[in-house]
Structure formats: structure tokens, C-alpha cells
């Protein structure tokens, strides 16, 4: 993908569907056959802030809180009606606040992500919206801790926290363009029912998951399209205990975890099954719709997440292919309920209680930053002289695990969007290597990155400097004061 093409076409012609490499070329051919309409120039109302956080999801919520707590006048731009992003739509649990101590006997248990992410969990606990940090009793070579959340309470609690921090929260607002002054972002353009606006600021953080702001700003990126898209469902009127007995009767319990559920400790909060041990008719039918048997829950009689997967032929930045995938996933959701009703005891009257407003993916655009975290950095537990956090989970464990149940560091340079003076990226849009990304993209990592990026953006705005001029020792001290845990 030619970055200049994207920025130019999306800004000047209003075409936002050019996609990566091969696909991009096809799309360009189609566009050349089309007539163009030249949008008349118009004056937009301008608002001024210190920091713009684009995207109010997993990383963005934390980034906005961190920026505002440094005294920066902060705006959060979120296209949906609530904060939370993929953490309330796709992921089954938050991985992982702790190192993988249980898989490595003798290794000390330590909480490696704290700060604002932990504060969110504390607030959720009070509101009855999490299992807390529940220890895995089976499958702990995968993770030691499972922190499941109530998706709806998460939306409310984080919304309230944003408001308490004095952040200007714009939900139902699409970030639709970037205003550039050379290699510096001057502002962004937003669209909402209140109209089109220009938002000026000193520092910007892209937390849109797909890197929309970076792409509009002309940053380089790739689109690997190496994951299925997913729309997970919440399933109500089920018996968690009977599902467990069903898996157990087939010797198919893979992950098992007990924690706080419906206000009572010691309840099953995470389950996953080993497909090959389950009846072939069930697993074959489940396989056809890309259904995973892993679920978590915070409530009795409820599976918070059942995932339905579908592999798209092209990158999910292609609107028309996404439309087909959205329909296909909804058909798969209906089929999944049929399967649970037919095969799983205690689920005879199950029904869908929640779907995501749109499909999710583990990575869309990958934005080129000053440093690209490598798999060897993750597996060897490498720390950098500009660490902004420590992290100790890999989604492919036990196949891939961080050395000695320890942690690696995510460096500040991995958040700095290459070639742009005042733009940071946080969340699933960083890290190009597939296997390294299977660690850095996880929820708690994204949250930690958000705290660092929001803090750095605020400090840069305060000093009127670019992201590369910020003193690391200043950033580090401020992060430590914000409760961030460091190992080196
Ligand atoms: C199906 C699935 C299952 C997963 N399971 C787990 C799991 O069990 N545990 C785990 O730790 N991780 C899991 N992950 C990974 C993890 O959930 C994500 O990588 C992480 O939540 C991404 O965070 P983010 O902040 O980068 O993006 P998001 O949380 O998606 O936030 C992006 C936000 O930006 C908004 N946005 C996007 N574009 C614009 C725009 N142009 N204008 C305004 N707003 C915009 C979006 O609406 C969204 O709110 C899973 C991911 C998926 C897809």
C-alpha cells in the first residue's frame, strides 16, 4: 500500500477503501473506472486540545485517562456509542496481569501490569463486573490468571472514569481525516450528527485498532490479513456446571478456572474443551462455522463469549467484503445456538443475549513504528533501555512461552509512528511479526501501552515537543508515579 495514496484519496476524494498490496491494485483499477465527484471545500468549526486520543477501545480508554491525569486538555474520539472496543466485543478474558508463574515451578508470582488497567479492574469489582484475577486450575501452561469481565458493566464503568477525569468524550464520532503540516499532525477531522469538525491538538495517539489516524496521516503500514474475522456472542439461559460436566464426561476439559461469579467466590468462570475428545457430529458442525468452545463468564447461567470465526479472502478494510462477512457471521451465530441446544446438556433453551455491532479481527493495518517488536524479544524476555511496561503472556503458550515465566519489555520507540513527529500508536496495530503480535496484541498489553502513550502524549504537549524529543527518564518517572510496574 502506498501511504500517500491512502492519505490523498481518503482526504481529497472521500474514498476510504483502498487495501493492502494486491488488493489495493485491484481496487485502484475499479476506482479509475468510476466517475469522481469533487467535494466543495468548506469551513469547518475548529476545537483546540492538547491531546487527541483516536479510538476509545482497550488502549484508548487508558490512554485518555493517562493523558488527562497529566493535566492535558484531552479529547477522546470514538465511533461507537460506548468505550471498550474489542475487550467488550471479542476477547474472552483479559490476558494477563501476571507473569506465567504457574507453568514454571519455583518462579515467583508477580503482578506485571498495574497502574490504570488495575484501577479499571478495581472499579469493576465494586460494580460486580469481573471475576477478579482468578487463578487457572487447569490449562495454566497457557495462562496463570484469567480476568473475565462483564462487557456491559465495563462500558459503563470506563465511561464514568473518562467523565470523572474531565475528558471531552465524543462517542458516535468517526475520525475521518488528518490535517498535516509537513510531517506533523496539526489536527483531525471528525464526522458526527453534529456535523464535520476540525480538532487541533499538539499530540496525537492512534488507538483505533486499524490505525485509521496513522493511515490518514500518511504513515506506512501493511495489511497481513492473517486471521479470521470474528463476531462473538453472549449466550444466556445455560448451565455452566452442566457444560463442565459434559466436557468432563468426554475427558475434554482443557481450561478450567474458578473465581467470582454472580457475587459468589469459587465458581467456574472459564472453560474450554478439547475438540478431538468431543462427539464427532458436534465438532464437525462446530468446525464448519468456526466455533470455539472456550468461554468465560461473570454471571450464573451465562456464557459471556462464544466465538464464531470466518476467514475473509481479503483484508477487512474492504467495506464490501466486510458486508458479506458480517452476514455470514450472523448466520454462524444462529447455527451455534442450534448446536448448543442440540448437543450440550443444560443449554436446551439457550439464546443469544449479545452480539458485537460489527465484526472484530486480531489485526487489520499494522503501522510502521520506530521499532518493531520481534519474536526473539518476546521469547527471550528482552528488556530495553526505554521500556514503557513489562508483559508476560503469549497467546500461543505452551508452544511459545516467555523465558523462565518472566517478562519482556515494550519499548517507547515501538509506539512512535515512523516519520511523523507527534503521533504515537498503541494497541493491536503495532508489531508486524505474527507470533510476536500474538503477545503484544493482548488486552492487558494494549492497556499498558495506552497508559504509556497517553502519558507521553501529554508530556510532549506540555513541553511543546515531538515524541522523539521527550526525555525517557521523565516519561519513566511519570509512569512509575502512575503505578506502572517495571522489571529493569
Ligand atoms: C475475536 C477476538 C478474541 C480475542 N480474545 C482475546 C482474549 O481472550 N484475551 C486477550 O487478552 N486478548 C484477546 N484478543 C485481542 C485483544 O482483545 C485485542 O487485540 C485488543 O482488545 C485490541 O485493543 P485496541 O485498543 O488495539 O483496539 P480496540 O479495543 O478494538 O479499540 C479500537 C477502538 O477504536 C474505535 N475506532 C476505530 N476506528 C475509528 C475511527 N476511525 N474513528 C473513531 N473511532 C474508531 C473502535 O470503535 C474501538 O472502540 C482478542 C481479539 C479478538 C478480535
Place of cell 469538525: 197
Return d(Cα 60, Cα 205) in angstroms, integer: 8
Element (H, E) at 338: helix 319-343
Place of cell 476467514: 311
Element (H, E) at 469: none
Q: Which ligand 1 atom sits nearest the alpha carbon of residue 294? A: 8
Pairing status of strand 174-181 against strand 184-192: antiparallel
Which among 91, 393, 394 is the best mutation to test ligand 1's pocket, defined by most ligand atoms within 8 Å of the CB? 91
Whether 290 is in the pocket of ligand 1, judged by its Cβ within 6 Å, is no
pTM of the predicted model, to two decimals? 0.94
Tell me, in angstroms, the distance from the centre of ligand 1 to residue 308's CA: 16
* Backbone φ and ψ of 384, nearest 5°: -115, 165
Which among 59, 80, 86, 228 is the best mutation to test ligand 1's pocket, defined by most ligand atoms within 8 Å of the CB? 86
Tell me, in angstroms, the distance from the centre of ligand 1 to residue 439's CA: 14
Over the Cα atoms of the chain, what is R_g? 22
Mind listing the pLDDT tens digit of every residue in the chain (488 residues)?
A: 445 455 544 443 333 333 333 344 444 455 556 789 999 999 999 999 999 999 999 999 999 999 999 999 999 999 999 999 999 998 789 988 999 999 999 999 999 999 999 999 999 999 999 999 999 999 988 999 999 999 999 999 999 999 999 999 999 999 999 999 999 999 999 999 999 999 999 999 999 999 999 999 999 999 999 999 999 999 999 999 999 999 999 999 999 999 999 999 999 999 999 888 999 999 999 999 999 988 999 999 999 999 999 999 999 999 999 999 999 999 999 999 999 999 999 999 999 999 999 999 999 999 999 999 999 999 999 999 999 999 999 999 999 999 999 999 999 999 999 999 999 999 999 999 999 999 999 999 999 999 999 999 999 999 999 999 999 999 999 999 999 999 98
Return d(Cα 446, Cα 449) in angstroms, integer: 5
Contact 207, 426 (CB under 8 A): yes
Task: Give which of 411, 414, 380, 413 is closest to 394, Cα–Cα.
Answer: 380
Half-sphere exposure of 260 (CA within 13 A, CB side): 16
**Separate counts of helices (H) and strands (E) for the chain:** 13, 23
Q: Which ligand 1 atom sits nearest the alpha carbon of residue 361? A: 53
Q: Which ligand 1 atom sits nearest the alpha carbon of residue 443? A: 11
Q: Which ligand 1 atom sits nearest the alpha carbon of residue 96? A: 11
Whether 212 is in the pocket of ligand 1, judged by its Cβ within 6 Å, is yes
Residue 323 neighbours by CB distance under 10 Å: 10
Q: Which ligand 1 atom sits nearest the alpha carbon of residue 92? A: 8
* Residues 6+ positions from 400 with CB-CB distance below 8 Å: 375, 378, 379, 394, 435, 438
Contact 376, 428 (CB under 8 A): no
Q: Find the farthest-apart pair of alpha carbons in the chain and give their distance in angstroms, rounded.
A: 67
Pairing status of strand 203-206 against strand 51-54: parallel
Omega within 30 of 0 (cis) for the link into 398 = yes
Which among 57, 391, 395 is the best mutation to test ligand 1's pocket, defined by most ligand atoms within 8 Å of the CB? 57
How many residues are there in the chain? 488
CA angle 113, 119, 120 (to 5 degrees): 100
Tell me, in angstroms, the distance from the centre of ligand 1 to residue 477's CA: 28
Whether 95 is in the pocket of ligand 1, judged by its Cβ within 6 Å, is yes
* Backbone φ and ψ of 181, nearest 5°: -120, 95
Amino acid at each position: 500500500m502506498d501511504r500517500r495514496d491512502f492519505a490523498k484519496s481518503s482526504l481529497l476524494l472521500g474514498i476510504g477503501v483502498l487495501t493492502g498490496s494486491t488488493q489495493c491494485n485491484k481496487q485502484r483499477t475499479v476506482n479509475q473506472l468510476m466517475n469522481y465527484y469533487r467535494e466543495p471545500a468548506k469551513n469547518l468549526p475548529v476545537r483546540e486540545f492538547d491531546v487527541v486520543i483516536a479510538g476509545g477501545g482497550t488502549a484508548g480508554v487508558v490512554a485518555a485517562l493517562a493523558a488527562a491525569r497529566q493535566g492535558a486538555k484531552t479529547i477522546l474520539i470514538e465511533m461507537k456509542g460506548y468505550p471498550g472496543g474489542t475487550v467488550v466485543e471479542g476477547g474472552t478474558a483479559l490476558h494477563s496481569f501476571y507473569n506465567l508463574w504457574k507453568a514454571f515451578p519455583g518462579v515467583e508470582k508477580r503482578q506485571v501490569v498495574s497502574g490504570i488497567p488495575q484501577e479499571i479492574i478495581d472499579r469493576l469489582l465494586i460494580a460486580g463486573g469481573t471475576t477478579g484475577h482468578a487463578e487457572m486450575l487447569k490449562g495454566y501452561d497457557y495462562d496463570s490468571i484469567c480476568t473475565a469481565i462483564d462487557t456491559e458493566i465495563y462500558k459503563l464503568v470506563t465511561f464514568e472514569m473518562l467523565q470523572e477525569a474531565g475528558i471531552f468524550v465524543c462517542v458516535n464520532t468517526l475520525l475521518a481525516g488528518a490535517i498535516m503540516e509537513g510531517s506533523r499532525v496539526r489536527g483531525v477531522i471528525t464526522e458526527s450528527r453534529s456535523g464535520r469538525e476540525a480538532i487541533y491538538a499538539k499530540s496525537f495517539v492512534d488507538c483505533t485498532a486499524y490505525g485509521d489516524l496513522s493511515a490518514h496521516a500518511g504513515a506506512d503500514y501493511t495489511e497481513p490479513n492473517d486471521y479470521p474475522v470474528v463476531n462473538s456472542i453472549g449466550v444466556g439461559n445455560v448451565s455452566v456446571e452442566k457444560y463442565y460436566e459434559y466436557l468432563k464426561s468426554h475427558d475434554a476439559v482443557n481450561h478450567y478456572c474458578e473465581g467470582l461469579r454472580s457475587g459468589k467466590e469459587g465458581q467456574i468462570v472459564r472453560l474450554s474443551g478439547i475438540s478431538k475428545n468431543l462427539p464427532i457430529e458436534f465438532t464437525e458442525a462446530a468446525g464448519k462455522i468456526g466455533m470455539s468452545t472456550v468461554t468465560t463468564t461473570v454471571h450464573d447461567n451465562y456464557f459471556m463469549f462464544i466465538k464464531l470465526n470466518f476467514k475473509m479472502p481479503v483484508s477487512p478494510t474492504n467495506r464490501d467484503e466486510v458486508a458479506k462477512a458480517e452476514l455470514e457471521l450472523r448466520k454462524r451465530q444462529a447455527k451455534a445456538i442450534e448446536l448448543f441446544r442440540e448437543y450440550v446438556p443444560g443449554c436446551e433453551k439457550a439464546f443469544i443475549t449479545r452480539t458485537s455491532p460489527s465484526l472484530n479481527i486480531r489485526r487489520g493495518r499494522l503501522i510502521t513504528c520506530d521499532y518493531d517488536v520481534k519474536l526473539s524479544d518476546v521469547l527471550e524476555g528482552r528488556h530495553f533501555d526505554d521500556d514503557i511496561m513489562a508483559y508476560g503472556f503469549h497467546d500461543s503458550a505452551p508452544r511459545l512461552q516467555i523465558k523462565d515465566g518472566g517478562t519482556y519489555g515494550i519499548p517507547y520507540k515501538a509506539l512512535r509512528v515512523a516519520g511523523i513527529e507527534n503521533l504515537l500508536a498503541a494497541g493491536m496495530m503495532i508489531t508486524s511479526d505474527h507470533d510476536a503480535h500474538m503477545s503484544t496484541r493482548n488486552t492487558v498489553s494494549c492497556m499498558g501501552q495506552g497508559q504509556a502513550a497517553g502519558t507521553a502524549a501529554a508530556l510532549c504537549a506540555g513541553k511543546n515537543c515531538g515524541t522523539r524529543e521527550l526525555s525517557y527518564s521523565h516519561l519513566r518517572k511519570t509512569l512509575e508515579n502512575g503505578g506502572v510496574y517495571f522489571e529493569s
